[in-house]
A and B are shown apart, each in its own frame.
Chain A
Amino acid sequence: SQTIHQWPATLVQPVGSPLSLECTVEGTSNPNLYWYRQAAGRGLQLLFYSVGIGQISSEVPQNLSASRPQDRQFILSSKKLLLSDSGFYLCAWSIVASGTEAFFGQGTRLTVV
């Protein structure tokens, strides 16, 4: 069966510090991978998605970047965090096909102080 791992679960970082959140998927090959952010009381905002190694699409220009160094690994990064980067970050995967659901990790609660 397929599983998705996302870590860390919680993170407190000072303004201006770097960020690296990692997500890995097991049990499937060539998945679509996604990073979403969820602000308090809001919906899920798509940040990045990837349809293959090295292929990243950015939905919202901002202080973050994403990379996919391996087929089942998706990394969210920042060189210098801003207060506004605080939020709940969710990684998700789906199979490469039309009309399929996305499966989510447990999320990372990031607080920038």
Chain B
Amino acid sequence: GESVGLHLPTLSVQEGDNSIINCAYSNSASDYFIWYKQESGKGPQFIIDIRSNMDKRQGQRVTVLLNKTVKHLSLQIAATQPGDSAVYFCAELLGNTPLVFGKGTRLSVIA
């Protein structure tokens, strides 16, 4: 089954605005989390990751926040661009076990 869930299946944002995509995970023992971006007809691509001993990690235009107290993960995209339109998945991992993915959020950027 899918133990990682997302709050919103779709998200529409204006170009230039910031996007926030949320994810709830179920296994409090998970120690590694990843956000993937999947464009139509392609395989998921790694965006950013965070380990359970951190609560925030920043990349280029993206930030991942981890709240272990409520088992919540979020992806923030600054200055959203049309090329950011895709489906975003969060995934959790415990040790060397396979990644468990959520259903995904479709991000649509309105020009």
Contact = CB atoms under 8 A, between A and B. Distances in A.
B41 A107 contact: yes
Contacts, number: 61
Given A41-B103, A99-B32, 9 more contacts: A6-B43, A43-B102, A92-B43, A98-B31, A101-B49, A102-B98, A102-B99, A104-B45, A106-B42
Interface residues of B, number: 26
Interface residues of A, number: 28
Interface of B: 2, 4, 9, 31-32, 34, 36, 41-46, 49, 51, 89, 93, 95-96, 98-104
Interface in A65-113: 90, 92, 96-107, 109
B43 A98 contact: no
A101 B34 contact: yes
Interface of A: 6, 32, 34, 36, 41-46, 49, 51, 59, 90, 92, 96-107, 109
